[in-house]
């Protein structure tokens, strides 16, 4: 019989996959002797069983009963007992945290009888009725699927009838009346009454949590965060403790360090007389944790001690949910806390300084995605008027049009508008809008509100609790002191670090970290912040431990220069077609239109000096670092006008009786001749070199002459010539012959002592090339995987169309969670890489292996390339720092 239920005292923090993050950490805290209410976890195995079989595992019911019995023993109360009932919470908890995405039901076990027992035991009829109405509300909405607003409206109505300003103003009688109304709502909407049997309540709540794994918002969240849909959630059943019992009761959340800066300090929010959800829901404005010391000093001291124990144990920033019941502290949750990107770097190096972790471990605590965030621009400094101030909940500079609901944000973002989602507070259904918005602004809720927590997790700029703003979604306007300050569609700017809100569009400038990475700010410059010093330190560690080199894809001397400043150790791909564009287009057109060899040679001769100058510039910019220059790759029609446009133009001209110039006719004929149904599978790459005499020869000559020129000036260039789109070794051999001939001519022409050290290699970007890599390696000194084309040709997905096309449906249907053009498909395309690397190295042990497709800058792909033993990755200059960091992390 499988075990689907684990009591807290049996698990550990290392069992997240099975127990979920919450369950594993509750178990860990129990083992550490911290005050955790007794409870148990139903494993993710059970959730997966339900997903696959559509019903609970048969043994689950008995196991839950036994575990509940065990909880009852520990706490001395029985489930369903009329005198002194045990109540439980039922909470979701997946292996990877999905804040606010799934369901929770509190106070399970209350019914018309046990509510009396609870009143007697607690000495508070009001408290018992309040707990019961919360159960009815949560059970009704979560388990029975009744619209949450139905309950809210009913509550509101009673509040109005009784003249109560808020829930606290409702007495026991009023709450009892609400209980009655809620029961009627449930019976009416559900067709049967609220289940009085606590066991049925428990069963229903557990099933609802399992089902919430596949709720639309949870699916959206997992797609956004690239979380596997198969993982499933665990369910935690925990004895209730009550933060709403009396005025010596409270509930709150805390961090062991400031999650924005990593600094030690007291950081968190709490509410007196409230239950857990009230704090994160952002509905009531919370109090700062420091005040807890005055309100409940003993519990506060114990909380501080507990936080020290947790930091010491996890050696990291932890976040905590706690409840104080009549002065006694209970821990309801902890986990290694979500943090901003800046805090991740600061905390990692602070922990090294404190001796808690070593530098290598510190490197594992940060990521390339976080570094990318730190490179985002910030608002330019300058005097400006602040419209309002909230809390800086998730840093960044966001500018966008004010929009009051998520659906509109999504629709407008799809039309290309940049929007800010502006809400009083967000709720889990706002996820889609938060993802589509540039930033999120709320007028209520603290740094631990839903908006803040989710935005931080997503790396989305967020200002929350800007209380002076009166957000009115019905009127679609924001007012301050009764005056309209922004209507829907008006532009606002929000600073997620300072919490400032500005009217209009504020200009942005490079972030400090970007300035540092681009070489414009030294880490030891007195102006550099602690963050820059942390980044510098961890980049140093990454550079020290990494095995793979990082090169850049750069086509011009200016790009090459920038890449070098960012730490590129060479150029892995210079696309020569980019040098063919602009004013050179005319010369390329001449080449394409050439009617005979003489005309063609003339055109090539005109292109030669321009190409040579470009290459010399690139080589000079890179000094003695390798520079891989790829011969012309794209189909030639890309240099000519579009067939349809041109045909229409000529037809119109003819119709108007205008004379058509012979040149125009020639161009049209060439365009028609070169037109292909599938140009990406047509005349391009090595095929161009083999069919247009002299084209590759001219490019090779330009490269070699540039090499000699730079060497003659005292430089030490390392040139690599790369042939694209090779599928057969015969193609490569034919081109190599041409290269050899040109090399001989160039060397002979240069006179004595002229020496060329050029290496010749090929791209592997067709499945056939990968499979035949063994023989191709006989004719190549290096391979560079063109993973863009290799993905296109392996999947048969058009790289130019697919991301705007059916990928959306594929993602929605869970067929793909990531675009294989962004993150390498390690199973399919990756298998071809593995084969090519093995076969290539088997025939040529000195073969250099690199990647120059977009995946060269993608963190997950980089880890895979490391595991294949590749020598380098090459990516756009801007991603070089991220690649350096991830190449380092890949070795740990």
Q: Which residues are catalytic?
A: 450, 852
Which of 477-485, 606-614, 659-667, 783-791 is the region at the interface with ligand PEP (rule: CB under 6 A)? 783-791
Nearest position to Mg ion, beta carbon? 789
Provide, for the chain, the percentages of residues in helix, strand and coil under a 3-state DSSP scheme, each rounded to the nearest 5: 50, 15, 35
Q: From CA 64, how far away is CA 73, in angstroms rounded?
A: 14
In the complex with ligand PEP, which residue's Cβ is closer, 512 or 633?
Answer: 633
575 binds, among Mg ion, ligand PEP, none (CB under 5 to 8 A by kind): ligand PEP
In the complex with ligand PEP, which residue's Cβ is closer, 210 or 821?
Answer: 821
Binding mask 545-584 vs ligand PEP (x if CB under 6 A, - otherwise)? Answer: ----------------------------x-x---------
Which of 211-219, 449-457, 488-496, 782-790 is the region at the interface with ligand PEP (rule: CB under 6 A)? 782-790
By CB under 6 A, the residues from 846 to 865 that bind ligand PEP are: 852-853
- Phi then psi dihedrals of residue 463, to 5 deg: -115, 125
Binding mask 743-772 vs ligand PEP (x if CB under 6 A, - otherwise)? Answer: ----------------------x-------
495 binds, among Mg ion, ligand PEP, none (CB under 5 to 8 A by kind): none
By CB under 5 A, the residues from 736 to 765 that bind Mg ion are: 765
Strand extents, DSSP E, 314-403: 318-325, 328-336, 378-379, 388-389, 391-394, 397-403
By CB under 6 A, the residues from 381 to 420 that bind ligand PEP are: none
Among residues 68, 167, 183, 65, the alpha carbon closest in space to that of 115 is found at 183
Q: Which of 789, 825, 858, 886 binds ligand PEP (CB under 6 A)?
A: 789
Q: Which of 633, 705, 720, 825 binds ligand PEP (CB under 6 A)?
A: 633
User: SS in 3 state form for 6-36?
Assistant: EEHHHCCCCCHHHHHHHHHHHHHHHHCCCCC
Residue 20 interacts with ligand PEP (CB under 6 A): yes or no: no
User: SS in 3 state form for 110-142?
Assistant: CCCCHHHHHHHHHCCHHHHHHHHHHHHHHHHHH
Which of 643-651, 662-670, 781-789, 815-823 is the region at the interface with ligand PEP (rule: CB under 6 A)? 781-789
849 binds, among Mg ion, ligand PEP, none (CB under 5 to 8 A by kind): none
| Minimum distance of ligand PEP from residue 725's CB (angstroms) | 8
| Minimum distance of ligand PEP from residue 685's CB (angstroms) | 8
Residue 886 interacts with ligand PEP (CB under 6 A): yes or no: no
| Minimum distance of Mg ion from residue 560's CB (angstroms) | 20
Q: From CA 255, how far away is CA 337, in angstroms rounded?
A: 7
Among residues 8, 774, 805, 888, the alpha carbon closest in space to that of 367 is found at 888
By CB under 5 A, the residues from 259 to 298 that bind Mg ion are: none
Q: From CA 248, how far away is CA 273, in angstroms rounded?
A: 8
Name every residue whose Cβ is closer than 8 Å to that of residue 55 and which is 6 or more positions away in sequence. Answer: none
Question: Six-digit token pair at 795?
Answer: 């999947």
* Cα–Cα separations (whole angstroms), residue 319 to 187, 295, 336: 40, 21, 6
Residue 787 interacts with ligand PEP (CB under 6 A): yes or no: yes
Binding mask 794-833 vs ligand PEP (x if CB under 6 A, - otherwise)? Answer: ----------------------------------------
Q: What is the largest CA-CA distance in the chain?
A: 106
Angle, CA of 259, 235 and 24, to the nearest 5°: 50
In the complex with ligand PEP, which residue's Cβ is closer, 538 or 722?
Answer: 722
Strand partners, 394: 462
8 Å CB contact between 392 and 379: no
| Minimum distance of ligand PEP from residue 684's CB (angstroms) | 9
Q: Which residue has the tokens 């990291």?
A: 316
Among residues 383, 502, 511, 482, the alpha carbon closest in space to that of 441 is found at 502
Strand order in the sheet with 318-325: 287-288, 264-272, 250-257, 318-325, 328-336
Q: From CA 56, how far away is CA 205, in angstroms rounded?
A: 13
Which of 117-125, 403-411, 778-786, 867-875 is the region at the interface with Mg ion (rule: CB under 5 A)? 778-786
787 binds, among ligand PEP, Mg ion, none (CB under 5 to 8 A by kind): ligand PEP
| Minimum distance of Mg ion from residue 892's CB (angstroms) | 32
| Minimum distance of Mg ion from residue 685's CB (angstroms) | 7
Q: From CA 88, how far away is CA 122, in angstroms rounded?
A: 16
| Minimum distance of ligand PEP from residue 692's CB (angstroms) | 18
Task: Please say whether the dihedral angle defined by the alpha carbons of residues 587, 591, 593 and 596, taken in this order, is positive or negative.
Answer: positive
| Minimum distance of ligand PEP from residue 765's CB (angstroms) | 5
- Phi then psi dihedrals of residue 630, to 5 deg: -95, 135
Residue 788 interacts with ligand PEP (CB under 6 A): yes or no: yes
For residue 376, how many other CB atoms are within 10 A of its CB?
18
In the complex with ligand PEP, which residue's Cβ is closer, 398 or 766?
Answer: 766
Binding mask 706-725 vs ligand PEP (x if CB under 6 A, - otherwise)? Answer: --------------------
| Minimum distance of ligand PEP from residue 853's CB (angstroms) | 3
By CB under 5 A, the residues from 780 to 839 that bind Mg ion are: 786, 789
In the complex with Mg ion, which residue's Cβ is closer, 398 or 770?
Answer: 770
| Minimum distance of ligand PEP from residue 808's CB (angstroms) | 23
Give the residues lining the site for ligand PEP (CB under 6 A).
573, 575, 633, 765, 786-789, 852-853
Give the residues lining the site for Mg ion (CB under 5 A).
765, 786, 789
């Amino acid at each position: 019989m499988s075990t689907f239920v684990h009591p807290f005292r049996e698990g550990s923090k290392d069992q997240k996959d099975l127990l979920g993050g919450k369950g594993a950490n509750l178990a860990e805290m129990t083992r550490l002797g911290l005050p955790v209410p007794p409870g148990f976890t139903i494993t993710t195995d059970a959730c997966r069983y339900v997903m696959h079989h559509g019903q609970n595992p048969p043994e689950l019911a008995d196991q839950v009963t036994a575990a509940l019995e065990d909880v009852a023993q520990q706490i001395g109360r029985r489930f369903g007992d009329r005198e002194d009932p045990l109540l439980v919470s039922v909470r979701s908890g997946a292996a990877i945290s999905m804040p606010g995405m799934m369901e929770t039901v509190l106070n399970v076990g209350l019914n018309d009888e046990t509510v009396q027992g609870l009143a007697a035991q607690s000495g508070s009829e009001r408290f018992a009725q309040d707990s019961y109405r919360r159960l009815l509300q949560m059970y009704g909405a979560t388990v029975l699927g009744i619209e949450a607003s139905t309950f809210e409206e009913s509550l509101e109505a009673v509040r109005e009838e009784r003249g109560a300003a808020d829930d606290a103003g409702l007495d026991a009688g009023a709450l009892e009346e609400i209980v009655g109304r809620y029961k009627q709502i449930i019976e009416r909407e559900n067709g049967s009454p609220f289940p009085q049997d606590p066991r049925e309540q428990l069963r229903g709540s557990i099933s609802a949590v399992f089902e919430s794994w596949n709720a639309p918002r949870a699916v959206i969240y997992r797609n956004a965060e690239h979380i596997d849909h198969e993982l499933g959630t665990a369910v935690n059943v925990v004895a209730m403790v009550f933060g709403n019992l009396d005025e010596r009761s409270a509930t709150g959340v805390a961090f062991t360090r400031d999650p924005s800066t990593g600094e030690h300090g007291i950081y968190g929010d709490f509410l007196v007389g409230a239950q857990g959800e009230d704090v994160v829901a952002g509905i009531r404005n919370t109090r700062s944790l420091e005040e807890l010391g005055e309100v409940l000093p003993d519990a506060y001291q114990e909380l501080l001690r507990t936080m020290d124990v947790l930091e010491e144990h996890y050696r990291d920033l932890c976040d905590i949910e706690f409840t104080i019941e009549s002065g006694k502290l209970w821990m309801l949750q902890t986990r290694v806390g979500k943090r901003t990107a800046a805090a991740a770097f600061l905390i990692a190096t602070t922990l090294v300084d404190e001796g808690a972790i070593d530098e290598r471990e510190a490197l594992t605590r940060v990521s390339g995605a976080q570094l990318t965030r730190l490179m985002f621009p910030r608002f330019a400094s300058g005097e400006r008027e602040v419209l309002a101030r909230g809390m800086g909940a998730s840093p960044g500079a966001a500018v966008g049009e004010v929009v009051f609901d998520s659906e509109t944000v999504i629709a407008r973002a799809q039309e290309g508008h940049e929007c800010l989602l502006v809400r009083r507070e967000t709720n889990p259904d706002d996820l889609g809008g938060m993802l589509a918005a540039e930033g999120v602004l709320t007028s209520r809720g603290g740094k631990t509100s839903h908006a803040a927590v989710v935005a931080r997790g997503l790396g989305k700029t967020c200002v929350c609790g800007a209380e002076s703003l009166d957000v009115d979604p019905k009127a679609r306007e924001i007012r301050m002191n009764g005056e309209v300050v922004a209507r829907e569609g008006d532009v606002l700017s929000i600073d997620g670090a300072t919490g400032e809100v500005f009217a209009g569009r504020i200009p942005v400038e490079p972030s400090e970290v970007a300035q540092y990475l681009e070489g414009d700010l030294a880490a030891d410059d007195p102006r550099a912040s602690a963050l820059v010093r942390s980044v510098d330190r961890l980049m140093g560690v990454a550079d020290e431990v990494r095995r793979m080199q990082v090169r850049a894809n750069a086509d011009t001397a200016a790009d090459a220069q920038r890449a070098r400043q960012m730490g590129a150790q060479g150029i892995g791909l210079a696309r020569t077609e980019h040098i063919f564009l602009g004013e050179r287009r005319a010369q390329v057109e001449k080449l394409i239109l050439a009617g005979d060899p003489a005309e063609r040679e003339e055109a090539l001769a005109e292109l030669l000096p321009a190409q040579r100058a470009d290459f010399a510039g690139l080589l000079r910019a890179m000094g003695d670092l390798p520079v891989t220059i790829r011969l012309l790759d794209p189909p030639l029609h890309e240099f000519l006008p579009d067939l349809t446009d041109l045909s229409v133009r000529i037809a119109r001209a003819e119709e108007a009786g205008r004379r058509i110039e012979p040149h125009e006719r020639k161009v049209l004929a060439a365009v028609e001749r070169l037109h292909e149904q599938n140009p990406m599978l047509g005349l391009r790459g090595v095929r161009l070199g083999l069919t247009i005499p002299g084209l590759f020869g001219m490019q090779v000559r330009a490269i070699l002459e540039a090499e000699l020129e730079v060497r003659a000036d005292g430089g030490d260039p390392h040139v690599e010539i790369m042939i694209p789109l090779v599928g057969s070794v015969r193609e490569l051999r034919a081109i190599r012959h041409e290269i050899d001939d040109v090399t001989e001519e160039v060397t002979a022409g240069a006179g004595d002592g002229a020496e060329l050290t050029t290496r010749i290699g090929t791209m592997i970007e067709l499945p056939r090339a990968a499979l035949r890599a063994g023989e191709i390696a006989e004719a190549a000194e290096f391979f560079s995987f063109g993973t863009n084309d290799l993905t296109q040709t392996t999947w048969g997905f058009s790289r130019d169309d697919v991301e705007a096309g059916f990928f959306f449906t594929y993602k929605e249907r869970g067929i793909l969670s990531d675009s294989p053009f962004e993150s390498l498909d390690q199973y399919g395309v990756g298998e071809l890489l593995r084969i090519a690397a093995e076969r290539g190295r088997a025939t040529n042990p000195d073969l250099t292996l690199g990647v120059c497709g977009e995946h060269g800058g993608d963190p997950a792909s980089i880890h895979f390339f490391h595991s294949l033993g590749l020598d380098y990755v090459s990516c756009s200059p801007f991603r070089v720092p991220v690649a350096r960091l991830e190449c380092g992390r890949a070795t740990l």
